[in-house]
Structure 1
Amino acid sequence: MDTIFALASAQGKAGVSVIRISGPLALTAANQICDHPLPAKGRGLRCLLDLDGSQLDEALVLSFAAPASFTGENIVEFQVHGSTAVVSAVLDRLTKTPDLRLAEPGEFTRRALENGKLDLAQVEALADLIDAETEAQRKQAQVVLSGGLGQLAERWRVDLIRAASLIEVTIDFADEDVPVDVTPEVTALLSAVAQDLQAETEGVKIAERIRDGFEVAIIGAPNVGKSTLLNMLAGREAAITSEYAGTTRDVIEVRMDLGGLPVTLLDTAGLRDTDDHVEGIGIELARKRAEQADLRVFLVELDEAIDLKMQPGDIRLQPKADMRQDSDSSISGKTGQGVNRLVSHISDTLKDRSTQVGVATRTRHREMMLAAMRSLTEAQLVLQRGSEFYEIAAEDIRSAVRSLEMLVGRVGVENLLDEIFSSFCLGK
């Protein structure tokens, strides 16, 4: 196994930068540039020296002995002064150290996976945590990173292995009198796991929205103040506004944090009949994005017909509240009247939906759990046909176990790893 190194903190000037070495020769390599040897496990202040003996920097150096480290290997970390020049000089010195090479993207985390320090779901959660911008994203990533999905998968796996074992015992002693009918216990185990899997798969869509962002579309006729409202919500001139109808011809997106949730606001083209070909394309795009959005805010008059079907949770408001007497059901992007009430409404609605989230967070998780559910459904149907079909039921259960092992990366995911780790930086 090669010994690798990389900058583990962000590029650019900082108070402190962290450079990491991992592998069997990590301590040996580190001792070649420190002014005096490091302990196998511990910390200390060291001068880092160039090949000619000149001082590169004074650093706090941490050493971790395998397997008690992030990668499960020997690790040394240099906490150096975070100037570009210092970091560059130390990395250049490590490049000249024998038997050391620069890490590939995500290689530290990949080694943690290969050495059993993380499962695949935790690796994905680590990537999500690094990318987290809102409190909801952070919390969701932390649950999976702490092993929540892996623990669930292991519990399901244990129950299914027991169910398969009970069936196989019956098969092995088919010619003898088995004192206990195992079918009720097996059926109960399969039903319980299938019920858990069903609940988790239903929460994946919400989990994906927390990770990628909910979409809220602002809809209405031309010139009702949609772009003005978007600009007020965004706190900047994100969309062009004018007194001329049809100014917005494309979907304008603004990403923001609402109550700890990631939300993308969509300013759509005004819905109307038009002979303008370009505006017509924009209106059709607006319809499609509005239909796909998680929530829609309709700016319409009380007696105005809505050309799109309202969904549960959608909000209907009268536009231009600054020009009305009754402001309880209206809003103004120009003056801000009713905007705080709208933000609270959107936040409360999306937070309520977020309570349905489970531990699984990705489409890949959902696909593996659905595959396991299909196998369990087949097993339950086969069990009803009698003991002569138990061998088929046992194989269906084993198939479900394999799907769960793929969920956490134990088997059959080699083709996914390059794609997953390519999104990581060199030092992670």
Structure 2
Amino acid sequence: MWFLRRCLKSLALSPLKKWKHHNARDTIFALSSGHGKCGVAVIRTSGPASQEALQILTKWQRLPPPRQITLASIVCPKSGELLDKGLVVWFSAPRSFTGEDCCEYHVHGGPAVISGVLQALGHLSTLRPAEPGEFTKRAFQNEKLDLTEVEGLGDLIHAETEVQRRQALRQMAGELGQLYHRWSHRLIRALAHTEAFIDFSEDDNVEEGILTSVDEEIDKLQKELEDHLRDDRRGERLRYGVQVVLAGVTNAGKSSLLNAINQKPTAIVSSIPGTTRDVLDTTLNIGGYPIIMSDTAGLRDSEDPIEKEGVRRAKARVNEADILVAVVDISNCSLSRDSLLSPLKDLCSSVQGDGPRNIIVVLNKADLISQDNWCTVRELCQRSGLPPTCMLSCHTGEGISDFLQILRHQLEIICGDPLQGAPTITQTRHRLHLTACLHALQSYGIYRQQDLVLAAEELRIAHRQLGTITGRVGAEEILDIIFSDFCIGK
């Protein structure tokens, strides 16, 4: 019964069990809305002394109805001075954000009012200021949120674009965590059946063929994990920003294009070749998609050690690009297919490996060619099989909107719609644990015919990796399934 003893020992040491004892918890308080002057500020308390604090600050004998807004006079507990007239919302445990008794004070957002109410709460010996993220941490510890939902909440707070907001809301709603919980439950059941076969098969208490069903379930899980990991990093790109790199020879107009898109002089523009000698990054919102656009040094051979380092960094950034924008000076090209393809070939040959899969060709300085030549170049581009191509002029602004439309279309292809299909991986941490889980499932198949105990250990490792993503790892779940699925110990 080595497995049962180990599970019982794990139960005794489980941190989740310790988290469920809330009587001795401190009561915390903090400003929950943004800092600075505002119309309304929200100050929150959480913990067993929230009720006492509310009654002291409002001089109420009875608590207001839970989750209903009530007008109150808020006074200082030391001097009795009126601090503000505001709205109070009482949340009784466990129906609150943290799962504890909570209270929210909606007061006027002036700095003096906020400071006065915070000082009043600080005068109470049963309260202390909250640490950063402590309200959300308590929500996790009280099983109101799992780690993926906590991360979704953090992403929602920091979302800067429309598509980021959609993705964060979906994750905060629990869809990603629910997917991992379903996989975790299937793994627990497979592990429980395997452990039961190891411990009880000699007593004829376990059905025949139980290991065959385990093998089939693990094979299905492995394929689902492989499909989930084969997502081209869409969720992570949305969260961190899509890397868009402007590259080309010197004086092609890369810095001018960056300034035109950013609508301000972000990069220095000069007629002197080699002005840009480092990578200049700027964050932009293109149609709701977050991007990090990088202006790079012009690609050319140079004896200047500083410019050589800039070219090296430019080539390295091109290799890391999600989208490469190849900027070509159309005024220096003859009107032929080879002339148009040559700069692109030179750019691709200057980088290592296959380079970026997503390329946009920008033919810049179109204002320097005639209208007839403009039409000729457009026809050549359509017949040449080039990647998505647009002609523009950074000087006049003509064609910039066409470029942005092409860029947005590429972003839609790369990132997709976060509201459609299965939830995607949004954190590098998730990908690392999922990859480790997949490796453990693959190892199960290797050990299955050699040593069933080692195979079961690989299932346990896989389950632990999934549980680490959501923050829910407990041996008691395995015990529950063993005793519910099998008639053992009657």
| Structure 1 length-normalised TM | 0.90
Local SS of the residue matching 2:278: coil
Check conservation: 2:248, 2:327, Cα contact below 8 A. yes
Deviation at 1:144, TM superposition (A): 1.6
Partner of 2:453: 391
Deviations 1:90-130 (A, max 9, x none): 11111112211111111111111111111112112211111
Q: For 2:185 and 2:124, how far apart are their aligned partners in 1? A: 47
Deviations 1:171-199 (A, max 9, x none): 32246597632343212211221122222
Partner of 1:380: 445
Partner of 1:331: 392
1:71 aligns with 2:95: no
> What residue identity is the alignment partner of 1:395?
E
1:238 aligns with 2:238: no
> What residue identity is the alignment partner of 1:290?
V
Pick from 74, 86, 100: which aligns with 1:48? 74
Partner of 2:428: 363
Deviation at 1:164, TM superposition (A): 2.2
1:319 aligns with 2:364: yes
Q: For 1:316 and 1:286, how far apart are their aligned partners in 2? A: 17
Local SS of the residue matching 2:233: helix
How has the CA–CA distance of structure 1 residues 338 and 47 changed in structure 2, closer, same or farther, with 3 Å as cutoff?
same
Check conservation: 2:322, 2:357, Cα contact below 8 A. no
The correspondence of residues 162-311 of structure 1 with structure 2, limited to 5 A, is 162-171=189-198, 172-174=200-202, 176=204, 180-203=208-231, 205-300=233-328, 301=333, 302=340, 303-304=342-343, 305-309=345-349, 311=356
Partner of 1:415: none
Deviations 1:330-359 (A, max 9, x none): 221111222112111111112111139743
> What residue identity is the alignment partner of 1:39?
P
How has the CA–CA distance of structure 1 residues 390 and 13 changed in structure 2, closer, same or farther, with 3 Å as cutoff?
same
How has the CA–CA distance of structure 1 residues 380 and 53 changed in structure 2, closer, same or farther, with 3 Å as cutoff?
same
Q: For 1:23 and 1:146, how far apart are their aligned partners in 2? A: 25
> What residue identity is the alignment partner of 1:130?
I
Q: What's the RMSD between the two structures over aligned residues? A: 2.0
Q: For 1:318 and 1:43, how far apart are their aligned partners in 2? A: 60
Check conservation: 2:322, 2:356, Cα contact below 8 A. no
Deviation at 1:270, TM superposition (A): 0.8
Q: Which runs of 4+ in 1 moved over 6 A?
A: none
Local SS of the residue matching 2:284: strand
Task: Give the structure, 1 or 2, with the largest relative contact order (CA under 8 Å, sep 6 or more).
Answer: 1
Identity %: 39
1:343 aligns with 2:388: no
Deviation at 1:40, TM superposition (A): 5.9
Local SS of the residue matching 2:64: coil
Q: For 2:215 and 2:50, how far apart are their aligned partners in 1? A: 52
Q: For 1:371 and 1:226, how far apart are their aligned partners in 2? A: 41
Deviations 1:204-225 (A, max 9, x none): 7322211111111111111111
Q: For 1:204 and 1:157, how far apart are their aligned partners in 2? A: 23
Check conservation: 1:4, 1:102, Cα contact below 8 A. yes
> What residue identity is the alignment partner of 1:58?
K
Check conservation: 1:121, 1:150, Cα contact below 8 A. yes
> What residue identity is the alignment partner of 2:412?
K
1:22 aligns with 2:46: yes
Local SS of the residue matching 2:98: coil
How has the CA–CA distance of structure 1 residues 178 and 12 changed in structure 2, closer, same or farther, with 3 Å as cutoff?
closer
Local SS of the residue matching 1:116: coil
Check conservation: 2:251, 2:298, Cα contact below 8 A. yes
Check conservation: 2:322, 2:358, Cα contact below 8 A. no
Q: For 1:89 and 1:312, how far apart are their aligned partners in 2? A: 57
Worse-superposed segment, 320-329 or 304-313: 304-313
Deviations 1:374-418 (A, max 9, x none): 111111223345xxx333322221221111111111249xxxxxx
Deviations 1:245-265 (A, max 9, x none): 111111122211011110111
1:39 aligns with 2:64: yes
5+ long unaligned stretches in structure 2 = 1-24, 334-339, 350-354, 379-389, 475-490
> What residue identity is the alignment partner of 1:322?
D
Deviation at 1:161, TM superposition (A): 2.0
Deviation at 1:71, TM superposition (A): 0.5
Check conservation: 2:148, 2:469, Cα contact below 8 A. yes
> What residue identity is the alignment partner of 2:348?
L
Number of aligned pairs?
409
Q: For 1:197 and 1:355, how far apart are their aligned partners in 2? A: 20
Partner of 1:420: none
Check conservation: 1:45, 1:60, Cα contact below 8 A. yes
Partner of 2:118: 91
| Structure 2 length-normalised TM | 0.79
